Amino acid sequence: MSEKRLAGRIALVTGASRGIGRAVALALAREGAHVVILARTVGALEELDDEVRAGGGTATLVELDLTRGEKVDALGPSLYQRWDRLDILVGNAGVLGPVSPLAHVTSDAWQSVLDVNLTANWRLIRTCDPLLRRSDAGRAIFVGSGAAGEPSAYWGPYATSKAGLETLVKTYAREIENTPVRANLVDPGPVRTALRAKAFPGEDPNTLPAPEDVAPMFVDLALPSLTANGQVFPFRRRA
């Protein structure tokens, strides 16, 4: 049996209770990583934990609301106390927010989208950076969107938050380019997720790739052998 490619690595995955986050956590665990799975819903995390363990993997559950800044800030010290480092950070959690004219978006709705999609990821970088630097090959992977580069009418809060996230990650990549840490984004495109169904309720989900189809990209970007940094990797569905 070949050695698992991420054996002994510690990976944190946000938004892990469903969709892409869940699929990525399972994929990382299958490759030998110990996955720290983070989400707001403890029941869904427990179900994921059962599936990870059924596949021979191991997991640690973290029930956390990413809009609680002080809780996110405390995450790094908690991980340091337990493992002394972090090898893989997957910033997957995201929200769609209102799909409506900008003039109709309330300040609370605007802020709630930025809090999850942008500010929480900045806080994750800030609290996890010292731990990623303690790894021999720290990897930070975030979920981007084509909406960042090609904004559409009525998608203002979401597109703005994703454009900000892309700039945030590319800036971080510049700051760590002389270290073993690497930071990149995955643009998954249309995927069969709850967020996609909310955005396009009339779309047939069976025409879309499943989260499990996208997950291998995250595994590849988490490998110690990776050299790419500050790039956006679009998912291409195999024929």
pLDDT at 206 (0 to 100): 78
pLDDT higher than 80, residue 205: no
CA distance 52 to 57: 5
What's the mean pLDDT in 184-199? 80
CA-to-CA distance for 200 and 191, rounded, in angstroms?
Answer: 11
Residue 209's pLDDT is: 78
30 in Cβ contact with 222 (< 8 Å): no
Residue 238 above 70 pLDDT? no
Q: Checking phi first, is residue 4 left (phi over 0); if not, alpha (psi -120 to 50) or beta? A: beta
Q: What is the pLDDT of residue 148?
A: 86
- Residue 145 structure tokens: 């969107």
Break the chain into its structural domains and give their ranges: 10-234
Instruction: Say if residue 237's pLDDT is above 70.
Output: no
Measure the CA–CA gap between 23 and 10, rounded to whole angstroms: 17
**Domain 10-234 falls under CATH 2.60.120.380:** no
Q: Across residues 41-56, what is the average pLDDT?
A: 97
Residues involved in catalysis: 158
CB within 8 Å of 207: residues ≥ 6 apart:
none
Report the percent of the chain where pLDDT is more than 70: 97
> Which of 1-10, 42-51, 161-170, 180-189 is predicted with the least confidence, judged by mean pLDDT?
1-10
pLDDT in tens, 131-156: 999 999 999 999 999 888 887 899 99
Burial of 181 (0-12, 13-18, 19+ CB in 10 A): buried
